[in-house]
A and B are shown apart, each in its own frame.
Chain A
Amino acid sequence: MNATNVGYLVHLAFIVGAALFVVGLHLMNSPATARTGNRVSATGMIIAVAAEIAFVAEGQVGIGNWLIIAGGLLVGGGLGLRMARTVAMTQMPQLVSLFNAVGGGAAALLAISDFIALDGLRVLAGGAPGLDGWRSLFILADVIVGSVTFTGSLIASAKLMGLIRGRPILIPFGRIVSWFVVVCGLSVSIVLILAGMGIVTYDVNVLYLLLAVALTCALVFGMLMVLPIGGADMPVVISLLNAFTGTAVSMAGFVVGNVMLIVAGALVGASGAILTRLMATAMNRSIGNILVGGFGAAEGTQAAFTSEDGSVREVSVDDAAIQLAYASKVIIVPGYGLAVAQAQHGVRELADLLEARGIEVSYAIHPVAGRMPGHMNVLLAEANVPYPQLREMEEINPEFERTDVALVVGANDVTNPAARADRSSPIFGMPILDVDKARSIIVMKRSMGRGYAGIDNPLYLNPKTGMYFADAKKGLQQLVAAVKAL
């Protein structure tokens, strides 16, 4: 078979791969077919990679180059597999963020290599200026978006792992530094694009220096972008960075002239953009507002609880058990605290016990429960909770009025009535679960500490609310034992 035929076949294989990606994503619309969808998408990936290997094998590839391919794949694939197998479901957001970082990094490296192969874009100069301008534009766009994603995702991941403080980090003159980096990076990029078009000419060393400046600006900007963003906004940021990686990969596709990269990258870019918008809407915040940052930075202005505001009523484990056992409708509101305490199985056990007593039990899932969109659903699925029992916010909110007991486990900000009533609250306007409308409320919590947004929750002062101070896991075990004993 000659090289041209192989080229056609490879291109056909890419079309099949891209189609499988789309079909796979489509199957992910429903929990029943989602797993198949992911496997369809993985098949597309295997076909595309196999086709590319067949394509390069047709040319003259040295043994050293094969070693790079095999070695890189083994090292990276091995590490990726190890992380994927061992990661706890609570740590999912950090892992997704880490994969964003390496994906964006790889895309940026492709463009940097192309820059080197084109001898600092000088090879382009002298051709048709319009087209070379496009090529230079894609290279620079790839380097910049890929690098911003790389450092931004690493910082996001480090914040979620607790390596860096989760609260917004305000850098002195951060805004000014950010603007400087943006202006500097963009102007250098424009100069490089002009150089690629042959409009301006520089020595090759100058061109490399300019690329280094653009690269540094992008890497620094990625850090500056994510550092000031508070932990509560992380889901939105991860989603946004996912869209960035997709865009970078698409740009890389233009650079290396591979339609597969363009299609797959564009799909991810579009889906990431949609998810980001959905998330931001769920929190009633604009994406711009989140990126400007400073959420929770106004902590000091929020008055702390004083004794005049009312007092907190504590309930014992037995009282809580009796309330639950003699209810007819119970809604469980799980939050991140539940996941941190690894109490998903405990909550499921309690729900089973209550259901055995003929009580109607459902779970109210806030769109931002957990640390990324839909995170809580994954955590409860891990504890074998059937997904039809997991109810979304809009669907379950009208039911709180008819609910005897709302059991809040490790959730805070998403139940805060201040979001509905208190205009001065930093979370005012964020849609919340209307837990305070239930006939009685039991809040299981370790202490009176604040949630991620760093603000107080008036729900705890509500006369209908009983506070059950305990670690979610131990508290649930005791509650299960107490219900059994009734």
Chain B
Amino acid sequence: MNVGTLLDSLTVFVLAILLGFEVISKVPATLHTPLMSGTNSIHGIVLVGAIGLAATADSPLTAALAFVAMAFAGANVVGGYWVTDRMLEMFKRRPTPTADKVAK
């Protein structure tokens, strides 16, 4: 890690936190559960780190750690997005029995 990278990373980190505050504070209470589930899937981005780890694993120990990290992160991403979509699918202004068919 060199000084430039560290400072760039810290800048990005702080700005992303402020952006997070700004974007989230407007969400209505109705959507808090889907939102929590949605942000939950975003932290599945750790999968990207796990791939990097798995690609460089060179001992049985690191391979095992990488495998578990891949599985954990994979479950987080796939399950998180899927279940959020399932929830949001149900939010309708005027539910009509035919709406589902039209959408599909």
Chain A contacts with B in 60-104, Cβ cutoff 8 A: 61, 64-65, 68-69, 71-81, 83-85, 87, 89, 92, 95-96, 99-100, 102-103
Chain B contacts with A in 1-40, Cβ cutoff 8 A: 1-3, 5-6, 8-9, 12-14, 16-21, 23-40
- A374/B34 in contact, CB under 8 A: yes
A131 CA to B93 CA in the complex, in Å? Answer: 54
- B23/A271 in contact, CB under 8 A: yes
- Which residues of the partner chain A approach B48 to less than 8 Å between Cβ atoms? 48-49, 52, 258, 260-261
A80 CA to B72 CA in the complex, in Å? Answer: 9
A155 CA to B68 CA in the complex, in Å? Answer: 20
- B34/A34 in contact, CB under 8 A: yes
The verdict on B61 contacting chain A, using a C-beta distance below 8 Å, is yes
- A69/B70 in contact, CB under 8 A: yes
- Which residues of the partner chain B approach A34 to less than 8 Å between Cβ atoms? 31, 34, 88, 91
A26 CA to B38 CA in the complex, in Å? Answer: 11
- A32/B39 in contact, CB under 8 A: no
Task: For A386, give its contact among B16, B65, B87, B95 (CB under 8 Å).
Answer: B95
The verdict on A267 contacting chain B, using a C-beta distance below 8 Å, is yes
Chain B contacts with A in 56-83, Cβ cutoff 8 A: 56-57, 61-63, 65-83
A110 CA to B33 CA in the complex, in Å? Answer: 28
Chain B, residue nearest A45 (CB): B77
A21 CA to B54 CA in the complex, in Å? Answer: 25
A41 CA to B70 CA in the complex, in Å? Answer: 20
Task: For A373, give its contact among B16, B32, B49, B52 (CB under 8 Å).
Answer: B32
What secondary structure prevails in chain B residues at the interface with A?
helix
The verdict on A256 contacting chain B, using a C-beta distance below 8 Å, is yes
- B78/A80 in contact, CB under 8 A: yes
Chain A, residue nearest B64 (CB): A68
- B35/A271 in contact, CB under 8 A: yes
- B79/A246 in contact, CB under 8 A: no
- A65/B57 in contact, CB under 8 A: yes
The answer to whether residues A68 and B38 also contact, given A84-B86, A245-B43, A271-B20 and a CB cut-off of 8 A, is no
- Which residues of the partner chain B approach A263 to less than 8 Å between Cβ atoms? 12-13, 16
A450 CA to B93 CA in the complex, in Å? Answer: 35
A392 CA to B1 CA in the complex, in Å? Answer: 49
- B1/A257 in contact, CB under 8 A: yes
The answer to whether residues A384 and B95 also contact, given A49-B48, A267-B19 and a CB cut-off of 8 A, is yes
The verdict on A402 contacting chain B, using a C-beta distance below 8 Å, is no
A29 CA to B9 CA in the complex, in Å? Answer: 28
A238 CA to B39 CA in the complex, in Å? Answer: 12
The answer to whether residues A272 and B41 also contact, given A89-B87, A387-B93 and a CB cut-off of 8 A, is no
- Which residues of the partner chain B approach A26 to less than 8 Å between Cβ atoms? 23
Task: For A109, give its contact among B2, B72, B75 (CB under 8 Å).
Answer: B72
- A87/B50 in contact, CB under 8 A: no
- Which residues of the partner chain B approach A333 to less than 8 Å between Cβ atoms? none
- A32/B75 in contact, CB under 8 A: no
The verdict on A250 contacting chain B, using a C-beta distance below 8 Å, is yes
- B65/A109 in contact, CB under 8 A: yes
Tell me which of A111-119, A221-229, A457-465 binds B. Answer: A111-119
The verdict on A31 contacting chain B, using a C-beta distance below 8 Å, is yes
> What residues make up the interface of A, taking CB atoms closer than 8 Å to B?
18, 21-22, 24-26, 28-32, 34-35, 37-39, 41-42, 45, 48-49, 52-53, 55-56, 59, 61, 64-65, 68-69, 71-81, 83-85, 87, 89, 92, 95-96, 99-100, 102-103, 105-107, 109-110, 112-113, 116-117, 131-132, 134-135, 238-239, 242, 245-246, 249-250, 252-254, 256-275, 278, 365, 367, 370, 372-375, 377-378, 381-382, 384-388, 390, 392
Across the A-B interface, the 6 shortest Cβ-Cβ residue pairs? A72-B70, A270-B20, A80-B79, A76-B74, A374-B32, A76-B71
Q: A31-B31, A81-B79, A263-B12 are in contact. List 11 more A-B contacts (CB 8 A).
A: A21-B42, A28-B34, A31-B91, A42-B41, A45-B44, A72-B70, A92-B87, A99-B41, A238-B36, A245-B40, A384-B92
> What residues make up the interface of B, taking CB atoms closer than 8 Å to A?
1-3, 5-6, 8-9, 12-14, 16-21, 23-57, 61-63, 65-95
**Can you report 19 A-B residue pairs in the complex whose CB atoms are below 8 A from each other?**
A25-B23, A41-B41, A52-B48, A56-B52, A65-B55, A65-B56, A85-B82, A85-B86, A99-B41, A103-B40, A106-B68, A113-B69, A116-B62, A246-B43, A259-B8, A272-B39, A278-B32, A386-B93, A387-B93
